[in-house]
Structure 1
């Protein structure tokens, strides 16, 4: 077993299970949104449900929250079956995409709302609220109303309100989708540190792969209600199990072909690459960083490609290349003023260590 996979598996086995989905199913009439979902989440683990719109990830999260009743299967929180337990008795905190703050309440009143409802003494409540406001850096804004806050500040209030109850499970439903790019980056870094410091068991839903790769201990890739792959961010990116996962996470080039007996991969149009694996029809997955300049990998066969497009991204230039009938993406750097143009020729090598192979869709 690959060391990375083994480490991720060993880490998950060491954790005490807090959330269990057992053969969860959700139908809406004749339409099945989630056909059969099983997953365990360990104490303090941050698990991300990732996939395109309509893949069933939000439905799954809302079934855990108690907002949607499953058609079949079970949900356990800390060993207790909560499948038919009302939402308010499940000991979960949730942060919504639209914040859902009470507009007539100040920041401090929003944060302490749940604590008032459970009857916590005022002295204890004050200590808890001040602690969580400090953690999300909102002490100076405690008496403001939501309308007086920026989007990022409102999101912090929503997070503080959920965390103040110290729930067994924190649910995040695309919490950064309404924020601009720079603020998203700052808040997800802050959120990551906060969740880690509190050792909070968290289920996070997003369609943003960067958020998933940055935040998650494990990622669950969903497609049409089914789980395509579960693994650490490194495993999902470096060793995709299916073509869908390879395309959904990061950029890649996909070459259709076949592994033949002499440990060689041949594309349908005649390109050959080294390979190891069982002979048969496969799709080769090549990440942009594994297409390199010849001096970076001495001894690897050099190939001449034609540049079809060149896009500047600051730290790197992304090239779209034509190699025979195959198309490749390459991330590289060029000296100032030497950026190539479409139509130029460039020598490249393909890193054999970076090659991954997945089954062809019609062969799965």
Structure 2
């Protein structure tokens, strides 16, 4: 699996040219802060001094988790498929925010424990009806892992071929904060107490139980390589996001990273291909326990911190206007020379 992607570090050949353009806009040096860093990053990804955001797309992957049998979530598993129907109907937060901010949205059945009508406007990519309970056995087989990775990668290839150069990923799956916490613990070595959070709203007793179950699952199911960790503790939606991210980086797309679950997928992708971070912009810091330390592990600086922990790709959806602003200023803002404004003598 790891040999099928070709992800190159950014070509910095035009970096000085882009920085010169940024520095000579009608503003003090560095006055647009993070927008200047974003503009430079996007120019290097696209290898142009005239970047653009084309057909930005949020892909929401949904899957169920066998670990929910242990009571790690206060919500029943059927909420997963019910929320997929809500996405399709346009009634979820991700629908509101994508509509507001100009994203296209695709919803994917990666492995929901439900039979959806084939006529629904849904990407029908189901691997199986949920993963196995990883307290007792690996969440998926190696064949299922490979299938999920390939389906995620192929979907992004199609999205790219249709003209998109900016992509974000969301997720839905009751129990997926448990999967993400286990992945975080295994990849980073951070104590489980700092990785596992309240998810959809566990009380103190429920959180203690969740942590104990996850600790026991780690003991019961040794896993060492990134692929083994993903196979053992991941969900089909998380595995598809890993494949999707790697495909996006291979296609030199801008990847807008959402919150805790999506970042757990990035931990796996980064462990396999460290250079993927060159293509990532981190939308926000989730309020879910562990995300701040995930971001620190990846040396990432999020654009937003709104105390959100909903998932679905909502943080990424809200970040697009900031990303678009970084592209707009480098393309449309006057230089000192074109505006006839005198520059500082210190430049």
Instruction: Assess same fold via TM > 0.5.
Output: no
TM-score range, shorter chain: under 0.3
Q: Report 1 or 2 for greater relative contact order, CA contacts < 8 Å, sequence distance ≥ 6.
A: 2
| Structure with the higher fraction of residues in helix conformation | 2
| Structure with the higher fraction of residues in strand conformation | 1
